[in-house]
Chains A and B, each alone.
Chain A
Amino acid sequence: MNTMRLTNRAKAVDRRPMTFLESLYLWSIAKGMFTTLKHLFRKKATIEYPEEKRPFSPVFRGLHVLNRDAEGRENCTACGLCAVACPAEAITMEAAERLPSEAHLYREEKYAAKYEINMLRCIFCGLCEEACPKDAIYLSQTFAPANYARKGFIYKKDELLIPHPIHQREAYEQALGDRKPATKA
Chain B
Amino acid sequence: MHLLAIDIWFILEKVTLIAVIIGLSFFIAMYTTYAERKVAAWLQDRRGPNRAGPFGLFQPLADGGKLFFKEEIIPLTSNRFLFILGPALAMITALITSTVIPWGASYVDGTTQIALQVADVDMGILIVFGIVSVGVYGIMIGGWSSNNKFSLLAAIRGASQMVSYELPMGLSLIAVLLMTGSLKMSEIVAHQIQHGWHILYQPLGFIIFFVCALAECNRTPFDLPEAENELNFGYHQEYSSMKLGFYLFAEYINMFISSAVMATLFFGGYDIPFVDESAWGLSPLLFSLMSFAVLMAKVLFFLFVFIWIRWTIPRFRYDQLMNLGWKKLIPLSLVNMLITAALTLWLNK
Q: Which residues of A contact B (CB under 8 A)?
A: 29, 32-33, 35-37, 39-40, 42-46, 48
Asked if B68 is at the interface (CB within 8 A of a chain A CB), the reply is no
Q: Which residues of B contact A42 (CB under 8 A)?
A: 45
CA distance A133 to B309 in the complex (A): 63
Bound-complex Cα distance A45 to B46 (A): 6
Q: A36-B311, A44-B46 provided; 16 other pairs, C-beta below 8 A?
A: A32-B312, A33-B309, A33-B312, A33-B313, A35-B312, A37-B308, A39-B42, A39-B45, A40-B39, A40-B42, A42-B45, A44-B41, A44-B47, A45-B46, A48-B47, A48-B50
Q: Which residues in B have their C-beta under 8 angstroms from that of A48?
A: 47, 50
User: What are 18 sample pairs from A and B whose C-beta atoms fall under 8 A apart?
Assistant: A32-B313, A33-B312, A33-B313, A36-B43, A36-B308, A36-B311, A36-B312, A37-B43, A37-B308, A39-B43, A40-B42, A42-B45, A43-B45, A44-B42, A44-B47, A45-B45, A46-B45, A48-B47
Residues of A within 8 A of B44 (CB): 39
- Nearest B residue (CB) for A42: B45
- Chain A, residue nearest B45 (CB): A45
Interface residues as binary, B34-56 with A (CB distance below 8 Å gives 1, 0 otherwise): 00000101111111001000000
Alpha-carbon separation in the docked complex, A42 to B50 (Å): 18
| B62 CB → nearest A CB, Å | 18
The proximity string for B residues 106-120 relative to A, scoring 1 for CB distances below 8 Å and 0 otherwise, is 000000000000000
Within the assembled complex, what's the spacing in Å between the Cα atoms of A46 and B40? 14
Point out which of A32, A33, A36 has the most chain B C-beta atoms below 10 A from its C-beta.
A36
**What residues on A are CB-neighbors of B45 within 8 Å?**
39, 42-46
Q: Which of B39, B45, B46, B311 has the most CB of A within 10 A?
A: B45
CB-defined contacts of B308 to chain A, threshold 8 Å: 33, 36-37
Q: How far is the CB of A37 from chain B (nearest CB, A)?
A: 7
Segment 258-306 of B: residues with Cβ below 8 Å from A: none
Chain B hits for A43, CB < 8 A: 45
- Chain B residues 150-198 with CB under 8 Å of chain A are none
Determine if B312 and A46 form an interchain contact, defined as CB atoms under 8 angstroms apart: no
Looking at the assembled complex, report how far the CB atom of A16 sits from the nearest CB atom of chain B, in whole angstroms: 21
The answer for the CA separation of A27 and B5 in the assembled complex, in Å, is 56
Collect the chain A residues with CB atoms within 8 Å of residue B309's CB: 33
**Contact residues of B between 93 and 128, Cβ < 8 Å to A:** none
Q: What is the minimal beta-carbon distance from A49 to any residue of chain B, in angstroms?
A: 11
- List B contacts of A46 (CB < 8 A): 45-47
Restricting to B8-53, which residues have a CB under 8 Å from any CB of A? 39, 41-47, 50
